[in-house]
Amino acid sequence: MQTKLLRRTEGQSLVVVALALVVLVALSGLAVDGARAFEERRRAATAADAAALSGTRMLAEARSSGGNGSAIRAAVQGSLSEHGLATAQSFVWEAMYTDRTGAVISIVTTGAIPSTARGVKVELSYRFNTFLMPVLGTETLPAAADAIAIYGPLGGPPFGGDLMPLTLSLAAAIDMQNNAGVTAIFGPSTGMYQGSPGAFGAVQLNPNVNGSNPSGNYNQCTAGPVSPPATAPDTLNYWWCHGTSHEINIGDLLYNDPGNISSLENALEYRLTNSPVGLMPIFDQSTGVGGNTTYRVVGFMAVELIDYDLRGRPANRFISARFVNFFVTTGAINPNPNALDTGVYAINLID
């Protein structure tokens, strides 16, 4: 009798141990594979964000150059491949055009781009293998994500090196666009836009402030950008070489600062050599005279610096540049649906 009871007890123990092992493996699987699932879904979200941004950038470029959807699909596919998803298990993706609000218009095909398309939505999904959960019959888990990016006219560039301390009137900006490829001459007494030339080489890039604006020195160019930006000097040399540490938005006022621009020759040479393409603020109206002149910002235009002469007679000094037809930079999108479109765009994720 004792032998039978002993054997029965041993058999029951084996069952309990086996069940406990299954529970232990299941709990371990939830921990290990749950962490893996979180990581894979984060990976999917990162890939979707990058693909939406790449597709939207190509959308803006294709619309500018008369291209079609094939380039957009290739850009999305290339971005997904860079993130290692092209060979993922059961991987599928789709790209869709959206309007400026993010509402889906249609699937991105190799055909023509819809006239209202201002963004790209990317949806993707795939499966990944589990480590311990196959004991529960779950050999794979899903990962999925979607993202929307849109583009639009720049509403305000970020702190940093894109902005140049020149201003350009709206009439002059439109003329430069209509004569793309033609070098425009800017000067105090010479040049193409004598009716509304803007500020020749000396506009404040500290918005809404009519403060001191010394020329600075060339050491501010060679020393590199100041970090943190809040401590960057407000000087023309620094602005020409590294841009402004201030955020400039549509509607801000920039003050004129007619100083001795001949001292800026080294700074212009630095910019021309290292970063000839940059942004000029466009104004629609100016008020005041001399150092009290203000220019109201309504947009930004990308230009490429070509040449300059700051050492001759004042009447002969000039800076020359030409319009850049397509330029994408970081920054805020102008929310105004009728915003000035100068070919300078920001691309932002909205979902």
Question: 106-130, pLDDT tens digit by residue?
Answer: 999 999 999 999 999 999 999 988 8
Token pair of 102 as six digits: 């993010």
Token pair of 176 as six digits: 């430069």
Dihedral angle of Cα 200, 282, 152, 101, to the nearest 10 degrees: 150
Distance CA 77, CA 167 (A): 40
In the prediction, which pLDDT does 195 show?
46
Question: What are the sequence ranges of the domains in the chain?
Answer: 2-153, 168-329
In the prediction, which pLDDT does 90 show?
94
> What are the phi and psi torsion angles at 10 (to 5°)?
-65, -40
In the prediction, which pLDDT does 228 show?
85
Distance CA 37, CA 130 (A): 9
Token pair of 335 as six digits: 């929310």
| pLDDT, tens only, 166-221 | 888 888 888 888 888 888 877 765 555 544 555 666 788 999 998 776 778 888 88
pTM exceeding 0.85: no
Residues 6 or more apart whose CB falls under 8 angstroms from that of 129 comprise 89, 139, 140
Q: How far apart are the first and last CA of the chain?
A: 72
In the prediction, which pLDDT does 58 show?
96
Query: Which residue type sits at 20?
Result: A
Average pLDDT by stretches of 10, the chain with 351 residues: 53 55 55 76 95 97 90 96 91 97 96 95 93 71 95 87 85 86 73 54 86 80 86 89 90 82 85 92 86 89 90 76 90 88 93 82
Could you write out the three-class secondary structure of the chain? CHHHHHHHHHHHHHHHHHHHHHHHHHHHHHHHHHHHHHHHHHHHHHHHHHHHHHHHHHHHHHHHHCCCHHHHHHHHHHHHHHCCCCCCEEEEEEEEEECCCCCEEEECCCCCCCCCCCEEEEEEEEEEECCCHHHHCCCEEEEEEEEEEEEEEEEECCCECCECCCCEEHHHHHHHHHCCCCCEEECCCCECCCCCCCCCCCECCCCCCCCCCCCCCCHHHHCCCCCCHHHCCCCHHHHHHHCECCCCCCCCEEEECCCCHHHHHHHHHHHHHHCCEEEEEEEEEEECCHHHCEEEEEEEEEEEEEEEECCCCHHHCEEEEEECCCEEECCEECCCCCCCCCCEEEEEECC
Pairing of strands 184-186, 318-323: antiparallel
Q: Do residues 222 and 281 make contact, with C-beta atoms less than 8 angstroms apart? A: no
In the prediction, which pLDDT does 314 show?
67
Query: Other C-beta atoms within 10 Å of 117: how many?
Result: 25
**Residue whose token pair is 């003050």:** 255
**Residue whose token pair is 């032998």:** 3
Token pair of 207 as six digits: 């918005």
